[in-house]
Structure 1
Amino acid sequence: MGNHNFVQKSNLFSFSATRCLRNEYFHNDCHICIDLCPKGAIHLVRNKLTLFDNECIECAGCIGSCPSEAYEIESFDPNEFAVSFQAQNNPQISCKSTTPCLGVFDADHLLVMALRGEMVPVCDISHCGSCPLNENGKMENTIREHIRLANEFLVQIAIDKKIDIFEEIEVEATRRALFRKGFEKAKEVIADTPSEPQKSMTASHHALPNVRMPLKRVLLKNSLKEFVGSLEITSFSENSPLFFNKQIDFQACTNCGDCTQFCPTDALFPTSDKQGIYFSQGKCIGCGICEDICKTKAITSKEGFDLVSIAYERAEQLVHYDMVMCHECRCPYPYKGGDPICDRCEGYKKEFSNMFTLAKDM
């Protein structure tokens, strides 16, 4: 996820191929945006996600569901909106007045809005049922799931706030008219936008050197800092709906470094001497790449999360090895006890020992 992103654009809407988890790691099977797109504008071409700009209607409904912020729309930045939410006079967020489709927000955005002041967002989903974007109810279900996850997290950490839902049945014809009106407003934005528009908060964040963390996760961690000092409990033994934990089996790990190399957010990173591995809960987005790429299956998920570690991005050392010289191949390897012989030589010795049997011993 470097800064030299390959970006596909469709007027206001853009897709950064190198921020996409599936494009970053060949075996990743993320297909959230493909399933959600009401027009089927996102395709797999040679196992790489590709935006077909002639099919994209720039509804922005997929933006909130992308864990790595690969999608952006110039006319609206959900991160900027979340940060400035408390300055609004009305807590209601609605695609009729203040935002694009509410699919532009995920649970992180909603929590940032709720945690940064007294006002808690009220999500107006009364138009979802008759919305053309709500193909087979997918978009509405996704929006409801984001709200549910955010509220589940607030209950879990004992913060007395709740993101509410406002819903009234709306006539389909009226909603379709509003939908068309929304696209007319989008065209006006394009016409009024200078040739070099000012970068959004999200675009500016992604343009920084060596940035791999989604901005929405950075904002959520910063928002949590305001609360961790006042909470009675900050360490939890159960799983979190939003944050993830990992463990590494000392005996199974070969310290090959693949997990640290392919982690898209640097949640797993090597110790300074390259002989161990750290893990930062606050950086993990639960993509599962580390577990999939580990040849010995040494990395597994673990229950529990710690808010202080998450908010302040503290890291835990999962494994550390002393490097010793293998007495067979004379190469250094991570020592785990017993005879000083590396796994490769030990396996070779067991598998091909018959090749070295002397004739007198046969």
Structure 2
Amino acid sequence: MANINFIQKSNLFSYTGTRCLRNEYYHNDCRICIDLCPKGAFSIVRNKLTLFEAECVGCAGCIGSCPTEALEIESFDPNGFAAGFKNREEPLLSCKSSTPCLGVFDSEHYLVMALRGGMSVSCDLSHCATCPLNENGKLETTIRNKIDDANRFLETVAREQRIETLEVKEEHNERRALFRKGFEKIKESVADSSEAHEAMTIAHHKQPDMKIPLKRVLLKNSLKEIVGDLENTEFAEASPLFFNKQIDFQTCTNCADCIQFCPTDALFPTSDKQGIYFSQGKCIGCGICEDICKPNAITKKEGFDLVSVAFDRAEQMVHYEMVMCHECRTPYPYKGGDPICDRCISFVTNHANMFTLARDL
């Protein structure tokens, strides 16, 4: 059974419960890795994600899809690989020669490789359709969707680089033999160049106040290098990479539940604790804040600003003046009108008959 302080390992693969959204917030329903795993190695036990070590084959196909980097494979770190990609002789990603399954990468990784290297990146997808890991077609679809998301962003910001795909089909490939050969290659060939990569992510995860996934940090650092050259940094359309929020002033009660449960501190209080800030650069779109908000004051908002994303600029969503309720004498966030809190208004409205005097009967 899973424990939130326990790191489960299966050969080369490990799952850290403390970084999983299912453990961060009890009602979160993230099941990306469960739906993606072709071997059924993940399951929910008592609402906690559990890794079944005997079923996991360490293919790494789920790693890039985890929004909080709770999944890792030993001897290969996609963050370190992406950060050092510009120094590689050939800009090719292939599970036959240089990487595990391309599912190990997220859209952020592809963008880091393209932006930092200043060149297009080639992805060998020629045998994804016949790969034994792609039995239900989900793995290939996920890889292609992440590449498409990265390319749409590059097109949006008018960059010439693209994430290209190689589609030439190979002949005489026996599926099981290909999988066994590829898996052994990963274990043997990647280790010799992974020590710096591994140390990079391990060091990041050991920082007590660092809640943002390293892939997002790398992307923001990459954006800092190009935002000065962009003609436009503000975009009105929605993005699969960057998320925006809005808080309704009249509905919000300033209870701070959204702040407490935000896994990346994208929502945080003002210095006087009477307002809420939101940082686009830290938001991973998990939806916890929207789900936990009892009055439904938090909603999605389209549009993103690359300057705000890259430099972690925060926007003040709401701010309240705290006044004393003239009924219960308790401070509450004032929104205009008579100085009476919502609780007292509700009580008076619902139980007014309790205060009817005898002479009024």
Give the deviation of 1:238 after TM superposition. 1.5
> Quick one: distance in 1 between partners of 2:42 and 2:208?
28
Cα distance, 1:201–1:146 mapped onto 2, change above 3 Å: same
Distance 1:19 1:184 in 2: 29
Write the distance in 2 (CA, Å) between the matches of 1:346 and 1:47.
Answer: 38
Superposed displacement of residue 6, structure 1: 2.4
**Separation (CA, whole Å) in 2 of partners of 1:190 and 1:60:** 13
1:83 counterpart letter in structure 2: A
Once the two structures are superposed, residues 52-75 of structure 1 have per-residue CA deviations (whole angstroms, 9 ceiling, x without a partner) of: 011100000000000110100111
- CA change 1:72–1:17 in 2 (3 A) is same
Partner of 1:50: 50
Unpaired runs of at least 5, structure 1: none
Aligned residue in 2 for 1:207:
206
Report what 2:137 is aligned to: 137
Task: Determine if contact 1:75/1:189 at 8 Å carries over to the other structure.
Answer: no
**Alignment TM-score, normalising by the size of structure 2:** 0.95
Q: Percent identity?
A: 71
Say if 1:291 and 1:299, in contact at 8 Å, map to a contact too. Answer: yes
1:316 corresponding residue in structure 2: 315
- The CA distance in 2 between the partners of 1:234 and 1:66, in whole Å, is 27
Residue 327 of structure 2 corresponds to which residue in structure 1?
328
Aligned CA distance change for structure 1 residues 172 and 132 (closer, same or farther; 3 Å): farther
2:327 maps to 1:304:
no
Aligned to 1:148: 148
Using the TM superposition, name which of 114-123 and 210-219 deviates more: 114-123
User: Which residue does the alignment assign to 1:344?
Assistant: 343
Residue 218 in 1 paired to residue 217 in 2?
Answer: yes
Q: Measure the CA separation in 2 of the matches of 1:192 and 1:278.
A: 44
CA distance in 2, matches of 1:179, 1:205: 32
1:5·1:19 contact (CA, 8 Å) conserved in 2?
no
Contact 1:12/1:190 (8 A) holds in 2: no
Match in the other structure for 2:117: 117
Residue number in structure 2 paired with 1:259: 258
Residues 34 and 42 in structure 1, CA contact (< 8 A), matched pair in contact too? yes
Distance 1:187 1:322, change over 3 A: same
Runs of 4+ in structure 1 deviating by more than 6 angstroms, as ranges, are 189-193
Change in CA separation of 1:212 and 1:5 when aligned onto 2, cut-off 3 Å: farther
Amino acid at match of 1:310: V
Q: Output one character per residue of 1:248-282: Cα deviation in whole Å (capped at 9) or x when no partner.
A: 00000000000000001000001111100000000
Secondary structure (helix, strand or coil) at the match of 1:130 reads coil
CA deviation string 1:122-157 (max 9, x = no partner): 010111111111021111101000000000111112
8 A contact 2:75–2:198 mirrored in 1: no
Could you tell me how far 1:178 is from its partner in structure 2?
2.8
TM-score, normalization: structure 1? 0.95
Aligned to 1:272: 271
Whole-Å separation in 1 of the counterparts to 2:26 and 2:165: 38
Residue equivalent to 2:128: 128
- What CA deviation, in whole Å up to 9, does each residue of 1:150-184 have, x standing for no partner? 00111112222211000122246444323212332
Unmatched 5+ stretches in structure 2: none
